[in-house]
Amino acid sequence: MLLLHIDSSADAAADSVSRRLTGRFTRAWRAAHPAGEYRRRDLAADPVPPLTAAYTVLGRRVEREGFVPPSKVPALIATAAEQREWDLTLPLITEVRAAHTLLLGVPMYNFAVPAALKAWIDRVTFPGAFRDPDSGESLLRETRVVALMARGGAYGPGSPREAYDFQTPYLEAYFTNLGVAPGHFHAVAAELTRVDVLPHLAGLEQRAEASRAAAEQAAASLATTD
């Protein structure tokens, strides 16, 4: 059993709500699964490079071959630039394929996900990476995805900015399209995290604290269930 923990906040750990939430999840998961394997990737400290033309050329060549599995991609590499792109990509794909639970720390940046996380998503979404070449079934249908999110304002159901939440629907659409079962995708958000610094949020301190506490409780609960 492997937990793959990915943080994408640009904030230092002491200031990042999403990092605190993933930390809470991780501690609870490791206590509940002492024999489990744990891997962490910090996309702020170790950014994933954006895609180049060589990645797209190699990807199209793989598509023409019928979405071959990663093990057969090296035989299709034609240039040194394509090899560099594949060397950057394969370790990320391998981590995701091996994970039982994928834990994402996701702050809301400009109504959506951080560029650091989007770069990771773009790179791991290589043609055929998560499909069984024989059956065509997704290799991620049993994978659990837990997205622990932080938002400076309020974007939940019934809030004035509910329609501005492009974070949750994007992540859910992305992972279910990859084949993650809808019941295996979990999104938890702590809202109003900037209540202490944004004047227009004054008076919402109790609501912010309740949201944070509920998110922490949900994170710990998800960590101890399979």
Which pair of structure tokens corresponds to residue 205? Answer: 């301190």
Buried b (16+ CB within 10 A) or exposed e, 15-41: ebbbbbbbbbbbebbeeebeeeeeeeb
> What global pTM score does this model have?
0.94
pLDDT tens by residue, 48-79: 999 999 999 999 999 999 878 999 999 999 99
Distance of CA 3 to the CA centre of its chain: 12
> Given this model, what pLDDT does residue 170 score?
97
Mean pLDDT across 194-211: 79
Residue 201 in this model has a pLDDT that exceeds 90: no
pLDDT tens by residue, 98-134: 999 999 999 999 999 999 999 999 999 999 999 998 8
8 is in an annotated binding site: no
109 is in an annotated binding site: yes
pLDDT tens by residue, 145-196: 999 999 988 888 888 889 999 999 999 999 999 999 999 999 999 998 887 7
Residue for token digits 């609960």?
Answer: 221
Query: Distance between CA 96 and CA 90 in Å, rounded?
Result: 10
Which CATH superfamily does the domain covering 2-223 fall into? Flavodoxin domain (3.40.50.360)
126 is in an annotated binding site: no
- Size of the chain in residues: 226
138 is in an annotated binding site: no
Which pair of structure tokens corresponds to residue 219? Answer: 């994170």
- What are the domain boundaries of the chain? 2-223
Mean pLDDT, the chain, integer: 94
108 is in an annotated binding site: yes
What is the 3-state secondary structure of 55-95?
Answer: HHHHHHHHHHCCCCCHHHHHHHCCCHHHHHHHHHHHHHHHH
- CA torsion 21-122-179-33 (nearest 10°) is -30
17 is in an annotated binding site: yes
